[in-house]
Amino acid sequence: MATQIEKAHAFRALHERSGTFVIPNPWDRGSARLLASLGFEALTSTSAGFAFSRGQPDYGVGRDTILAHVADLAAATDVPMAADLENGFADEPETVAETIRLAGATGIVGGSIEDATGRADAPIYSLEASVERVRAAVEAARSLPFPFTLTARAENFLHGRNDLADTIRRLQAFQDAGADVLYAPGLKTRDEIATVLREIDRPLNVLMGFADGNLSVAELAELGVKRISVGATLARVAMGAFQRAAEELRTAGTFNFAHDAASGAKLNGLFAQFA
């Protein structure tokens, strides 16, 4: 098994080499190991997917439980693992910094901090507060004994604030505060993504896996996107298939869903490699 330092340097190298890479989002050990077996070079957690697997809503899981979860993911494979650390689980920069330090002790090699408050009446932190939070996260990341790759997220588009100018302003401020990677989930069009890329000089993570309007990996690579994630989409795909199968069983009393089941023998063989 690679050490955390080795994984951290491998993860950083993915961001520094030419080209684009996909970083899918497992929600448990099994999905992490399946993704690693398919050859993905790095993984990152999905807080929403994990919450759904626990029967809880997104943002319904506390920091200690999330940190235990990402520690489990990090130990599951030899692949570098990053984490969705939500908004650092606090408003105060000091607590955000503490979250980064605690996350660094779990075995992960990177993580994201978002500028969403979790409050419906004021969903996005002010620019000043957001920058202070990112700066605190950066300082905490730099204090770790390995290169922790910090991603700063501007959440406007996920909260109905489709203000590209403000999103760019925030990403530029996060860049100046020292973030290693920038991320504005909800950007969908070529024009939006290309505009952001022209205005920043850090690697950009783009979220795909929408119900419609997805650009391909090749198209995103052509634009200059460095990293592509899918958030909770894979978890929701799995849960959607489970729900459809259960509904067929309950309402029709048939078992056609079994045709789509993964082979038990293949899963046993796959997971035996990690035993």
Q: Is residue 85 part of a domain?
A: yes
Q: Is residue 151 part of a domain?
A: yes
Handedness of CA 51, 56, 58, 59 (dihedral sign): negative
Instruction: Indicate if the pLDDT at residue 44 is higher than 90.
Output: yes
Q: Report DSSP letters for 105-121, one per residue.
A: TTT--EEEEE-B-S-TT
Whole-number pLDDT of residue 107 = 99
Instruction: Indicate if the pLDDT at residue 1 is higher than 90.
Output: no
Q: Is residue 48 part of a domain?
A: yes
Element at 272 (helix H, strand E): helix 264-272
Q: Is residue 168 part of a domain?
A: yes
Q: Is residue 126 part of a domain?
A: yes
* Dist CA 15 CA 226 (whole Å): 7
State in Å, rounded, how far the first CA of the chain is from the last one: 12
Q: Is residue 76 part of a domain?
A: yes
Whole-number pLDDT of residue 65 = 99
> Number of folded domains in the chain?
1
Task: State the residue range of the domain holding 207.
Answer: 4-232
* Dist CA 37 CA 33 (whole Å): 6
Is the model's pTM score more than 0.85?
A: yes
Where residue 183 sits, what CATH number does that domain have? 3.20.20.60
Which residues are CB-neighbours of 160 under 8 A, at least 6 positions away?
A: none
Q: Is residue 94 part of a domain?
A: yes
